[in-house]
Homo-oligomer: A and B are copies of this chain.
Amino acid sequence: MIKAGIIGATGYAGQELVRLLLQHREAEIVWYGSRSYVEQTFSSVFGNVFQIVEDVCKSDDLQELSREADVIFTATPQGYLAGVLDEDILNNCRVIDLSADYRIKDVSVYEEWYKIKHKSPELIKEAVYGLCEINREQIKKARLIANPGCYPTCSTLAVYPLAKAGLIDMDTLIIDAKSGTSGAGRGAKVANLYCEVNENIKAYGVTTHRHTPEIEEQLSYASGKKVTLNFTPHLIPMNRGILITAYAKAKPGVTGEELRRVYQEAYGEEYFVRVLEEGVCPETKWVEGSNFVDVNVMLDERTGRVIMMGAMDNITKGAAGQAVQNMNLLFGIEEAEGLRLVPMVP
């Protein structure tokens, strides 16, 4: 059994890790870390695991945890892990970081967008970006995984095949994203109160959202050239789910059949990425609670534009699910172990 520790277990991503690991046959949770609830039972915070989890919340002592666990998941605020991670910890166990600290290779880009001084830039290089479908082989050999952000996971997977195949003009790429409210975290803020979010929709972080450079970096690798794009997220009155609608000019002569073929080739072997039937639009409900990403592509003959779409559960494949998928790769377990969950409808 893999011994797993979670730092930040009482946030939404942390709690999802708990849900997934409890249903995993080859892992067990040895540390429920939560600074806010230290010494309280975890199940008093999340009643769903009453009589399932007996554990009490512990501190965020990463050094001690690294000696007890085979893998540590950090679902912590930006900058936290960069401030405490060191060689000692990485020699003791694997680390899967759900924060943004090691996702962006150029530390100056990280510091500019996050307005944080990076405390351990020397570790950035070895960190592997844990987008499993793209970086599977490097992940297997890593000590430190930078688990991708929710928007970047869905955006990158929805656009990747065309970026790679060179079928769209990357300079025209626009990503319009919509997310359920769990993506905003479990902090007590007026803006996230029920009555503020319910019966409402708004864009936020327009031109400035921190996931922008992460998506740009990944799509730059895919396309082989530097990508600059527009990314606009919107807050949706629902708990879970991200929907991506992306637009770009098709290269001259590209056909709808060609577009679909490229997606089939890219994802035909992938269990978690489902290329929907022609003309079917992804819906977040169809992936809720699961690790699937549903994608599709359409060509608008009138405008010569390609519409790429992706739907995903933001706290499963967009956070905890992908983290478990990374753990499975790290430890040589079947990649979908603990993740063959049928999405919940309705």
Contact = CB atoms under 8 A, between A and B. Distances in A.
A198 interface: yes
B195 A289 contact: no
A107 interface: no
Interface string A41-56: 0001011111110000
Contact of A188 (B182, B188, B276): B188
A236 B201 contact: yes
A208 to B, nearest CB: 9
Interface in A136-191: 172, 174, 176, 178, 180-182, 186, 188-190
Nearest to A271: B51
Interface in A1-60: 12, 15, 18-19, 22-23, 44, 46-52
Contact of A283 (B52, B202, B287): B202
A326 interface: no
Taking each of A193, A234, A237, A239, which has the highest tally of chain B beta carbons within 10 Å of its own beta carbon?
A193
Contacts of A344: 19, 48, 289, 344
Contact of A281 (B190, B204, B284, B345): B204
B23 A341 contact: yes
A203 interface: yes
A193 B194 contact: yes
Contacts of A190: 186, 188
A202 B285 CA distance: 9
B239 A346 contact: yes
Interface string A311-322: 100000000000
A342 B49 contact: yes
Given A19-B344, A302-B207, A198 B195 contact: no
Nearest to A46: B345
B245 A232 contact: yes
B247 A174 contact: yes
A228 interface: yes
A276 B43 CA distance: 11
Contacts of A52: 342
A192 interface: yes
A217 to B, nearest CB: 14
Nearest to A181: B194
A29 to B, nearest CB: 12
Nearest to A279: B206
Nearest to A51: B274
13 contacts: A44-B277, A47-B283, A48-B343, A48-B345, A181-B195, A192-B195, A198-B237, A200-B283, A201-B284, A203-B243, A203-B281, A203-B309, A230-B300
Interface of A: 12, 15, 18-19, 22-23, 44, 46-52, 172, 174, 176, 178, 180-182, 186, 188-190, 192-204, 206-207, 228-230, 232, 234, 236-241, 243, 245, 247, 274, 276-277, 280-290, 294, 298, 300, 302-303, 305, 307, 309, 311, 340-346
